[in-house]
């Protein structure tokens, strides 16, 4: 069986070697590691609500909520607290154990903090894990959200530092890393991943994962999104990656960050059951449920329930720790499979 330690010193060559492995060897490596830390037949069910939609001043090329996008999506105000909590109750009744709230902001304004904190504490009182994605945070804002009971904060790096400027120009790559530091220092858990299929090279995918894996602490959750090519956005005509290439990203993320939850996120509406099954086999153990993901379609509950039943996968309970919660004690990184065959 493959041995593995938690590492923060991955080289570009090592990550590229993982991407270059024969597919069967890569998936076997990822599934072996996955079973050391998680029950392979449990998946976390999350639900995401857009609590403030449209009008974002950022120019992210993939997002219809950007003020730069030529989409029909209008800007809305922040939802009322009770409206958000009502939706959270429905999510819990539908099986969600983590509730995520997203706002199309560059960063939250101080005047919105009290309502945000009321939403967070209200969802937490329902017995669900809480997550929010609100843009960049100051140290004071992060502390306030943490004190209100926010468990996770999502702030994706999206892609490699080199390719980042092709997608976003209104916020730097370092800005994103700085927000991750603020979140971690506040005591909240970090949710951070990226998007596959924006026209990036395989090297960019490898560098994105290497950036995350070489952080002082691995992100607790890693959402891997497949681009949804939304009409009116800069990336509306980009060709999606082959499903096998997407699954490779899931597997490499699992190998490099063994204790993190790897979330199969946006783009599932376009994925076949077989592709999703391969993603779970490669180490994905979290999904977003519900008919909508912010402003895009997501598989409905009935469709997801049918797939989980076929695969024998059950929902992970809220606040449940990984099935195997012991740090491996070996002192050497695993030998890449292609070297073992030599």
Q: Which of 46, 263, 268, 279 is catalytic?
A: 263
Question: Euclidean distance between the first and final Cα of the chain, in Å?
Answer: 18
The pLDDT, as a whole number, for residue 70 is: 80
The pLDDT, as a whole number, for residue 290 is: 64
Q: Which residue has the tokens 């971690």?
A: 184
Q: Which of 46, 100, 192, 279 is catalytic?
A: 100
Q: How long is the chain?
A: 342
SS3 content of the chain, % helix, strand, coil (to 5): 40, 15, 45
HSE at residue 273, side-chain half, CA atoms within 13 A, is 9
Active site residue 131: yes
Provide the β-strand partners of residue 43: 315
Residue 117 is encoded by which pair of tokens?
């904190």
Q: CA 100, CA 266: separation in Å to the nearest integer?
A: 14
Does the annotation flag 131 for ligand binding?
yes
HSE at residue 50, side-chain half, CA atoms within 13 A, is 21
Q: Which of 191, 192, 249, 279 is catalytic?
A: 191
| Three-class secondary structure of residue 237 per DSSP | coil
Q: CA 13, CA 272: separation in Å to the nearest integer?
A: 32
Can you say how many angstroms the Cα of residue 75 is from the centroid of all Cα atoms in its chain?
25
HSE at residue 51, side-chain half, CA atoms within 13 A, is 32
Q: What is the pTM of this model?
A: 0.86
Active site residue 263: yes
Active site residue 46: no
**CB 286, CB 220: distance < 8 Å:** no
Q: Is residue 207 within a helix (H) or strand (E), and if so which, with residue range?
A: helix 202-213
Cβ-Cβ contacts under 8 Å for 177 (sequence gap 6 or more)? 157
Provide the β-strand partners of residue 108: none
Q: Where are the beta strands (DSSP E) in 253-335?
A: 261-264, 286-288, 292-293, 296-297, 314-315
Does the annotation flag 249 for ligand binding?
no
Buried b / exposed e over 67-79, threshold 16 CB at 10 Å, is: ebbebebeeeebb
What is the DSSP code (8-state) at residue 134?
-
The CA distances from residue 342 to 30, 333, 337, 338, in Å, are 20, 18, 9, 7
Q: Which of 56, 192, 249, 279 is catalytic?
A: 56
Among 175, 102, 88, 171, CA closest to 133: 102
Q: CA 198, CA 148: separation in Å to the nearest integer?
A: 36
Q: Where are the beta strands (DSSP E) in 68-147?
A: 98-103, 129-133
**CB 230, CB 297: distance < 8 Å:** no
For the beta carbon of residue 45, count every other beta carbon within 10 angstroms. 23
Q: Which of 46, 63, 192, 249 is catalytic?
A: 63
Listed as ranges, residues in the chain with pLDDT below 70 are: 1-4, 69, 73-74, 290-300, 320-342
**CB 97, CB 266: distance < 8 Å:** no
Does the annotation flag 263 for ligand binding?
yes
Does the annotation flag 279 for ligand binding?
no
Q: Which residue has the tokens 């072996």?
A: 32
Q: Which domains does the chain have, with CATH numbers?
A: 21-306 (3.20.20.70)
Q: Is residue 252 within a helix (H) or strand (E), and if so which, with residue range?
A: helix 243-256
What is the DSSP code (8-state) at residue 159?
S
Q: CA 52, CA 164: separation in Å to the nearest integer?
A: 25
The pLDDT, as a whole number, for residue 297 is: 56
Does the annotation flag 268 for ligand binding?
no
């Amino acid at each position: 069986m493959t041995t593995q330690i938690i590492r923060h010193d991955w080289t570009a060559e090592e990550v590229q070697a993982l991407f270059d492995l024969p597919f069967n060897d890569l998936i076997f490596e990822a599934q072996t590691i996955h079973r050391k830390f998680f029950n392979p037949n449990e998946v976390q069910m999350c639900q995401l609500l857009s609590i403030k939609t449209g009008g974002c001043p950022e120019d992210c090329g993939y997002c219809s909520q950007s003020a730069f996008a030529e989409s029909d999506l209008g800007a809305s105000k922040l939802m009322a607290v009770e409206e958000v909590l009502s939706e959270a109750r429905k999510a819990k009744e539908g099986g969600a154990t983590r509730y995520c709230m997203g706002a199309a902001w560059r960063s939250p304004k101080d005047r919105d903090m009290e309502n945000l904190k009321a939403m967070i504490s209200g969802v937490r009182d329902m017995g669900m894990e809480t997550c929010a994605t609100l843009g960049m945070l100051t140290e004071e804002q992060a502390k306030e959200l943490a004190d209100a009971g926010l468990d996770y904060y999502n702030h994706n790096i999206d892609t490699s530092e080199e390719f980042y400027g092709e997608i976003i120009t209104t916020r730097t790559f370092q800005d994103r890393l700085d927000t991750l530091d603020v979140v971690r220092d506040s005591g909240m858990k970090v949710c951070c991943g990226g998007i596959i299929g924006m026209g990036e090279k395989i090297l960019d995918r490898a560098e994105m994962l290497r950036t995350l894996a070489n952080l002082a602490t691995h992100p607790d959750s890693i959402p891997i999104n497949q681009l949804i090519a939304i009409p009116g956005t800069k990336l509306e005509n980009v060709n999606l990656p082959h499903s096998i290439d997407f699954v490779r990203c899931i597997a490499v993320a699992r190998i490099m960050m063994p204790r993190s939850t790897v979330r199969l996120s946006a783009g599932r509406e376009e994925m076949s059951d077989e592709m999703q099954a391969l993603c779970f086999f490669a180490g994905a153990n979290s999904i977003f449920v519900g008919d909508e993901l912010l402003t895009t379609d997501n598989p409905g509950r009935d469709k997801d329930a049918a797939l989980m039943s076929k695969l024998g996968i059950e929902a992970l309970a809220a606040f449940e720790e990984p099935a195997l919660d012991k740090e491996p004690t070996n002192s050497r990184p695993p030998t890449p499979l292609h070297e073992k065959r030599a």
